[in-house]
Amino acid sequence: MAIAKIENCNGCQMCVLVCPTDVLRMDEKTNTALIAYPDDCQICYLCSLYCQEDAITITPDKAGELVLGWGPS
């Protein structure tokens, strides 16, 4: 699981909308995002980048190394 926790969510739904693997859902009772399918997370960081509240914590030790380019070094 790459997304460790969601705290201080304001319910804007941006993370849910930008997640390409549909990991996040909105909790209808609390109107906040929740981690519905943690094993499907591809660690793309889109949810964290689009979160206006900086509410999403991605676990660094579970996340792969960020690839900034490709091809021969």
Q: What's the pLDDT tens digit per position in 30-46? A: 999 999 998 888 889 99
**Position 27 in a domain:** yes
In a domain, 35, yes or no: yes
pTM recorded for the entire structure: 0.76
In a domain, 30, yes or no: yes
CATH of the domain at 19: 3.30.70.20
pLDDT single digits (tens) 46-64: 999 999 999 999 886 654 5
* Per-chain mean pLDDT for the chain: 87
Distance in angstroms (rounded) separating the CA atoms of residues 5 and 18: 17
Pull the structure tokens for residue 23.
């990991």
Tokens of 29: 């009772």
